[in-house]
Amino acid sequence: EIVLTQSPGTLSLSPGEGVTLSCRASQTISRNYLGWYQQKPGQAPRLLIYSTSSRATGIPDRFSGSGSGTDFTLTISRLEPEDFAVYYCQHYGTSPLFIFGGGTKVEIK
């Protein structure tokens, strides 16, 4: 079973700063099946990035994704106040079909 490990667990940053979040898979996975979600308190997750680097509909271009093999990243170029949230990576694979990373919380410093 593939495991997705996200790091760090929490980041404390100020608006305007840039940030890169990490998602590491326990074995090589396809770029086509790695995505990122944003979750704000009291809300359902929202799809940000699919297929490693494609932005979902309506997602601003300050969000970008990259990676291959076992190492994937989500970068927010300049944090806006609405970007402080928890971010999850997700992989579509075999068994279980869908797995999520443990999440990275981006909090206001």
Which residues of the chain form contacts with another protein (CB under 8 A)? 30, 32-33, 35, 37, 43-47, 50-51, 56, 88, 90, 92, 95-103
Judged by CB, which is closer to another protein: 48, or 79? 48
Q: Enumerate the β-bridge partners of residue 106.
A: 11
State the DSSP code for 57: T
Report in angstroms how near the CB of residue 86 gets to another protein at its nearest.
9
Minimum Å gap between C-beta 109 and another protein is: 21
Distance separating alpha carbons of residues 9 and 21, to the nearest angstrom: 10
Give residues with Cβ within 8 angstroms of 71, minimum separation 6: 22, 23, 24, 25
Q: How far is the CB of 75 from another protein (least distance, A)?
A: 19
